[in-house]
Amino acid sequence: MAGTRSRPPEGRRRASHSMEAVLTEAVALLDEAGEPALTFRALASRLGGGVASIYWYVASKDELLDRATDHVLGGVLTAIESQTGSDDPIDDLRVMAVTLFDAIVVRPWLAAYFMRNTDLQGNSLRLYEQLGQQTLRLDLTPRQRFHAASAIISVVVGTAADLGQEPPPEVLDGTVGRDEYLGQWAERWRRLDPEEFPFMHEIVDEFEGHDDKDQFLAGLELTLAGLRLQAGA
């Protein structure tokens, strides 16, 4: 079984915490300050044991990151399973995409490790399988199904990762608010030559004060509408 460890030398005692506790605290550290904060020393301190005790459960930081990601995705998968099962596979794909998007937005580190190692990430593999199974309900070729699932994942993970990036320093330290920051860029765009940048002038009012979630949903709907059209649904 993946993740099991050989018995220690005689006289060595097993750590008192569990894999569940290790992953729960690892996720907490990642949520607080991202990947740099997740060290074996910091994790051991949280758990009240020595660094060596962590090696009972994971062999490396990479494995810890993969398992922490899968730990979170278990909750995402549970949420998806409770909300899907409608008569329309496109509607179910939308629910799945939005649920995964919301999870990554609040945990930006999740995007970097999603499906990075499916040998360790059984939940991510099952999530991808469930998303793909919705395409089996549509009149598509195997290639079209593969491209459809890949496109939806790209829209979700890529957009969520982008929105989850740390804000500009002046927004982060409170010098300016988000709307003011966007407004500054909008004013710069308005000063561009309208003959050279007609598109920028066309959309600048939409850009200023736009809602990030609405922008994601619009991109998702374009993707799903294209999928519905391709499937003749």
**In angstroms, how far is CA 50 from the centroid of its own chain?**
31
- Segments in the chain below pLDDT 70: 1-17, 165-167, 171-173
pLDDT tens digits, 99-136: 999 999 989 899 989 999 888 999 999 999 999 999 99
Cα 139 from Cα 106, distance rounded (Å): 35
pLDDT tens digits, 186-202: 999 999 999 999 999 99
Domains of the chain: 1-59 (1.10.10.60), 74-233 (1.10.357.10)
**What pLDDT, on the 0 to 100 scale, is given for residue 33?**
87
- Decide: 132 and 82 in contact? Cβ < 8 Å: no
**Token code pair at residue 217:** 């949903």
Torsion angle in degrees (nearest 10) through CA of 221, 227, 229, 233: -100
Sign, CA dihedral 66-76-2-45, equals positive
Sequence-ordered strand ranges (E) for the chain: none
Cα 164 from Cα 110, distance rounded (Å): 10
**What pLDDT, on the 0 to 100 scale, is given for residue 178?**
81
**What pLDDT, on the 0 to 100 scale, is given for residue 167?**
65
User: Which residue bears the tokens 């949520």?
Assistant: 31
User: From residue 7, how far is each of 4, 10, 51, 55, 154 by CA, in Å?
Assistant: 10, 9, 18, 12, 42
